[in-house]
Structure 1
Amino acid sequence: MVLRTLALLTVSGIAGAHAAPVEYTLDPVHTTVYFSASHVERSSVRGRFGKIDGRLIYDADSGTGALDVTVDLASVDTGNRTLDGVLRSAQFFDAAQHPVARLRANRFLTEGGRLAAVEGELTLHGVTQPLRLLAERFRCGEVTFFGVSRQVCGGDFRAEVPRSAFGMTRFLPEVGDTVTLQVAVEASPAGGTAR
């Protein structure tokens, strides 16, 4: 569920000031993957992943790059310890056997001069499937915190994933098959410090 996410992807909006590819790092303080799924068609089960790591190599002049993001599945947090244990177990993520979800992407799609979507592959529960993240908002530029300026790219992304496609069918159909991912991300050039 990563999902990634992703938003390393987001740095695709940086102005063309760089003449060569630049490496960016996700800010773990300001990057989170949220998820939700229908529960008996009455409400939603919601949660988040708190441990995310990722890197992007991006050439702003050509708009090309490569993305590799991992999500620690043991960091799942629904606010319910019992449910968190079930999600970590072999019934769902099987975090003991498959400790991370991984997103790799190399296609950034723009519309009207703005980042519209990022496409790649998601590996989860030992299965790899295509994934398309829609950009709900995105912005890149210099920001200043406590008198220190740095380049920051960030945005919100959204995707819908059928969990059954990754072999996770426990409690279907009472718990819905479609999982909505919402990815909030920030990324800075490698070596930057989170604020």
Structure 2
Amino acid sequence: MKNQLKSLVLTAVALFAFSTTYAQTWALDKAHAKVGFTVTHLMLSEVDGYFKTFDAKITAAKPDLSDAVFEFSTDINSIDTGNERRDGDLKGDRWFDAAKYPTMSFKSTSFKKVADNKYKVAGDLTIHGVTKPVTLDATMVGPKQMPGRDGKPGPEKVGFKMTGQIKRTDFGVGGAGAMPVSEEVELRATGEFTKQS
């Protein structure tokens, strides 16, 4: 019995070590990526915003990325809605309080295929110092081997588009009720990732 238990433990350790050793990192190509959001102002018109400074990576051991783990972070101070006064207000303590909470981050906990190249990405989103579970819709294109120079194979790349909806008040951003901006916020992110050698 002891030998069987020992063998089982050693097998589990070996499998863990194997999966950890062969996990691949996919780095974000920031020149082909965008992170943004949309809110409704006065329940009349939509206002779009973006974050100029952000980073993301994917870690996966399987070639088809079916076990992918997504990690993302953005600098709240890089917010851009096309209006400097509004951007300054959003960075202030009434909204994001960027001086105290300068980073928004996300780390996935599951990645499940629902149809063709459509997936559900569940994970923990942190905004304004508050962490909540969220589920995003994802579309994956690839992975694809890109052409390189002189007819040689180039890097392997994959593209993702993710969208979802959250309530800003769940994260303590702004007040409820009489505030001129909708509580519902549409999130969206697109990007290309390159497999690291």
TM tier, smaller: 0.7 to 0.9
2:144 is matched with which residue?
Answer: 141
Deviation at 1:163, TM superposition (A): 0.1
Aligned counterparts of 1:108 and 1:136: Cα–Cα separation in 2: 11
Counting matched residue pairs gives 173
| Percent identity (aligned) | 26
**Which runs of structure 2 are paired with 1:97-108 in the superposition (5 Å)?**
97-108=100-111
Unaligned runs of 5+ in 1: 1-18
Aligned counterparts of 2:87 and 2:48: Cα–Cα separation in 1: 11
Q: Do 1:31 and 1:52's aligned partners in 2 also have CA atoms closer than 8 Å?
A: no
Query: Which of 164, 167, 189 is equivalent to 1:183?
Result: 189
Are 2:64 and 1:82 equivalent residues in the alignment?
Answer: no
Normalised TM-score (structure 2): 0.79
Q: Do 1:139 and 1:154's aligned partners in 2 also have CA atoms closer than 8 Å?
A: yes
2:50 is matched with which residue?
Answer: 48
Are 2:53 and 1:71 equivalent residues in the alignment?
Answer: no
Aligned counterparts of 1:184 and 1:145: Cα–Cα separation in 2: 24
Deviation at 1:129, TM superposition (A): 0.6
Normalised TM-score (structure 1): 0.80
Deviation at 1:136, TM superposition (A): 4.2
- What does the per-residue CA deviation read over 1:107-135, in whole Å, with 9 as the maximum and x for residues that have no partner? 10102443412110100100001111102
Aligned counterparts of 2:39 and 2:160: Cα–Cα separation in 1: 22
**Structure 1 residues 146 and 158: CA distance shift in structure 2, 3 A:** farther
Give the structure with higher Rg (CA).
2
Aligned counterparts of 2:149 and 2:37: Cα–Cα separation in 1: 33
2:22 is matched with which residue?
Answer: 20
Unaligned runs of 5+ in 2: 1-20
Aligned counterparts of 1:51 and 1:136: Cα–Cα separation in 2: 23
1:157 is matched with which residue?
Answer: 162
Deviation at 1:168, TM superposition (A): 1.2
Query: Which of 34, 38, 41 is equivalent to 1:32?
Result: 34
